Structure 1
Amino acid sequence: MELLGTVDSAHPLVVVALEQEARHFVTDFPVLVTGVGKVRAALAVAHALGGGVRPRELVNVGTAGGLHEGMGGTHEIAAVFQHDFDNLGLHAVTGRHDGPPLTLSAARAVRPEPSHALLTEPGGSAAPVLASGDRFVAGGPLRDHLASIADLVDMEGYAVAAAGAALGVPTRLVKHVSDPADDSAGTTWVEGVDACARVLADWVGTRLG
């Protein structure tokens, strides 16, 4: 992990997984580069905020695979879940919900009741749902399954939102579609990450204040 700048309560902390995604940032806000995967992301956020100073909000920006045909652009996520964590199965054994879906609101990431649907926006229209897991999704049965229950897939979003919820920090997840999460995903991501980074830099520069 690498923290560029100093966390303070008046400004957001921008969180990215990889330096490649942040290479075009021009911002006075602190930027936390976590490394890939849920464990690294959660540890990095916890370490960065371990001194007790809380940012105004956590804003996780990065790339994600699109799970629906023709999906592109930049999306602010409204709910996130772990696709590689068997929350319901473990609940049956332990009686605990240790990894439930998180809904993201203007206030903070929150844990919904297990019976709640993952997400609809206040107006009733569907809102982007993100599936996070420690696996790079590149086609196959996993992609087919995720496409039926989510819109986007990444490897860190849930961990950042969960850390924000645990620490009482408002959290936003902003994802730019870098690839279709199919068998071309690896090549497409490598070839397109710089262009994605420019889009993310523009979002940070124009949408955060």
Structure 2
Amino acid sequence: MTHLIGQITDDAPLLVVAFEEEAKYLGTDHPMLITGVGKVNAAISLTQALASSGSKPSLIVNVGTAGGLRDGDNQSGLHVVSEVIQHDLDTGLLESLTGEIYGAPITLSDRDGVTLATGDTFVSDSAVREKLAQRATLVDMEGYAVAAAAGAFGIPIRMVKHVSDSADESATSTWRSALEHSARQLADWVHANIG
């Protein structure tokens, strides 16, 4: 499930994806880490890869699929993420209990205005979608963990997501059928934008 393709070097970006299917067309021009699904797998995989490599990539590029939380333009296509939040962590409650802030939003250098909500749930419920849409544009299961691990190592990150489903009751069937198209779109973006 989790594996590194190629070698992490100081002068090259590291591509990070959750699924091999998402990486299908990315090629071998850059080292690539397949993390597996969810925040824990993503955080552990990336942290282990960075800690054991002895090198620090010039950039981490997280690409993958995401559910669209809002109708209209945000319901399809590629999106460069500006901010990542955890939708399944009650940051306010934790702050009131401990006096410390855990899981604060992470702002990325890209400023396209897209907020990604990350959580350990594949969202396939209209009511959940509606609630998340009040705080975010897209939803995934790894983005926040990848951004947090990159930040812990002081490595800049770019995050690009392709909308594969509408995070409603049709999401489970739609995601699988959209995966091939999403993989091609993500690869096209990487080839055009990452040196």
TM-score by length of 2: 0.95
Instruction: Determine if the alignment matches structure 1 residue 208 to structure 2 residue 194.
Output: yes
Maintained 8 Å contact 2:126/2:167: no
Instruction: Indicate conservation of the 8 Å contact 1:26/1:205, yes or no.
Output: no
1:99-114 aligned at under 5 Å gives the runs 99-105=103-109
Q: Which runs of 5+ in 2 are unaligned?
A: none
Q: Give the counterpart of 1:155 among 132, 137, 141.
A: 141
The match for 1:113 is none
Q: Counterpart of 1:17? A: 18
* One-letter identity of the residue aligned with 2:12: H
In the TM superposition, 1:190-201 aligns within 5 A as 190-201=176-187
User: RMSD of the TM alignment (CA)?
Assistant: 1.1
Identity between Structure 1 and Structure 2 (%): 51
Instruction: Provide the C-alpha distance between the structure 2 equivalents of 1:192 and 1:142, rounded to a whole number of angstroms.
Output: 21
The equivalent of 2:56 in structure 1 is: 54
Letter in 2 for 1:156: E
Paired residue type of 1:3: L
Alpha-carbon distance between aligned partners in 1 of 2:21 and 2:98, rounded to the nearest angstrom:
40
The residue number in structure 2 matching 1:75 is: 79
Moved more, 5-14 or 139-148: 139-148
Distance 1:34 1:26 in 2: 17
Instruction: Work out the CA distance in 1 between the residues paired with 2:5 and 2:28.
Output: 11
User: Which residue in 2 is equivalent to 1:34?
Assistant: 35
* Inter-partner Cα distance in structure 2 for 1:101 and 1:25: 29
Provide the C-alpha distance between the structure 2 equivalents of 1:91 and 1:9, rounded to a whole number of angstroms. 37
SS of 1:161's equivalent?
Answer: helix
How many Å separate the matches in 1 of 2:149 and 2:43?
Answer: 6
- Alignment partner for residue 176 of structure 1, among 153, 158, 162? 162
More helix by share: 2
Cα distance in 1 for residues equivalent to 2:97 and 2:21: 41
User: 2: CA distance between counterparts of 1:142 and 1:73?
Assistant: 22
Answer yes or no: is the 8 Å Cα contact 2:64–2:186 preserved in 1: yes
Aligned equivalents of 1:6, 1:159: Cα separation in 2: 21
What CA distance in whole angstroms lies between the structure 2 residues aligned with 1:192 and 1:204?
18
| Structure 1 consecutive aligned stretches of length 4 or more whose deviation exceeds 3 Å | none
The match for 1:97 is 101
Equivalent residue number for residue 116 of structure 1: none
* CA distance in 1 between partners of 2:194 and 2:180 (Å): 21
Q: Which residue of 2 aligns with 1:64?
A: 66
CA contact (8 A) 1:27 1:205 kept: no
- Give the number of aligned pairs: 191
